[in-house]
Amino acid sequence: MATHAGGLTATRPVRVRDLARGFGDRTVLDGLDLTIGAGEFVALLGRSGSGKSTLLRALAGLDGEVTGSGLVDVPANSSVVFQDARLLPWQRVLDNVVLGLRGPDAAERGRAALAEVGLAGRDRAWPSELSGGEQQRVALARALVSEPELLLADEPFGALDALTRLRMHDLLRRLCDRHRPAVLLVTHDVDEAITLADRVLLLDAGRIAVDLSIDLPAPRSYRQPAFLAHRESLLRALGVDPTEG
């Protein structure tokens, strides 16, 4: 089990020790340790049902009904992006973005956030008038408008088509480079993880089984031999033979 040892100071916004979570008799997370540094982009891989979302929900504080124990230390100012855009259908786009904001400059900041995700001028639109990709961009704007120290994303591109997903990858990377939140991106897509993250974790049997630093120059692509090497080792760890298919 790989654990990031290191100075547990303010530069480590996420610190999880000995986390256990279960549903009824089934143990999902079992003595999990995790540290994420400030501004660090971490992707979390794992097979379906391995507990990726359970971990993310534990960090987001959205698992009140789950039994468990352990230490979870996350910044108060953290945002969540869900797999569905989860926009309130009865609020216009701008009102959705500023939903959690307070203060007189909320609308101003909301418009700036919308411009950042390429949706300037759409603030009066209803969510139902936007495409799936646009809705997820609004959700990104809503998550980043509060300048969070930690961004938790639960398969945010899972419901998008392949082309839109590629564009969203670029956008997310750009936004994270500008705002520098610590990121935990839950995904089942190995390529997505390698393309975006500084570090890829693999969750297995309730613990972090692989902790892989990705040190590749941008733009990352299949053409880089190191990319393929990472891909191969991660797929193997997931129980897939990369030479097949």
Partner 1 sequence: MTASVLTRPRTAAAEPANRPRRRLRPGRPIPFGAAIGPLLLLAVWALGSATGWLDPRTLSAPWTVVTTAGDLIADGRLPANLAVSAQRAALGLGIGTVIGTVLAVVAGLSRWGEAVVDGPIQIKRAVPALALVPLLILWLGIGEQMKVTTIALGVFVPVYIHTHNGLRSIDSRYVELGESLRLRRTAFLRRIVLPGALPGFLLGMRFAVVGAWLALVVVEQINSTSGIGYMMDLARQYGQTDVIIVGLVLYGLLGLLSDGAVRLVQRRALSWRRTLAD
Residue 44 or 202: which CB sits closer to partner 1? 44
Please say whether the dihedral angle defined by the alpha carbons of residues 66, 71, 75 and 81, taken in this order, is positive or negative: negative
Closer to partner 1 by Cβ: residue 110 or 206: 110
- The helix/strand count (H/E) of the chain reads as 7, 9
E-strand stretches of 67-134: 67-73, 78-81
Enumerate binding residues for partner 1 (CB under 8 A). Answer: 60-62, 79-80, 82, 84, 86, 88-91, 95, 99-100, 126-129, 142
Is the Cβ of residue 95 or residue 198 nearer to partner 1 in the bound state? 95
Q: Which is nearer to partner 1, 54 or 195 (CB)?
A: 54
Q: Strand 199-204 relative to strand 150-154: parallel, antiparallel, unpaired?
A: unpaired
Instruction: For the CB of residue 242, give the shortest distance to partner 1 in the complex, in Å.
Output: 36
Q: Nearest distance from residue 232's CB to partner 1, in Å?
A: 36
- Give least dist CB 96 to partner 1, A: 9
| Min dist. Cβ of residue 104 to partner 1 (A) | 16
Question: By CB neighbour count within 10 A (0-12 exposed, 13-18 middle, 19+ buried), where does 42 fall?
Answer: buried
Q: Please, what is the minimum distance in Å from the beta carbon of residue 47 to partner 1?
A: 24
- Residue with Cβ nearer partner 1 (100 or 219): 100
Which residue has tokens 């549903």? 23
Residue of 197, 86, 103 lying closest to 146 (CA atoms)? 103
Q: At a CB cut-off of 8 Å and minimum separation 6, what does 243 contact?
A: none
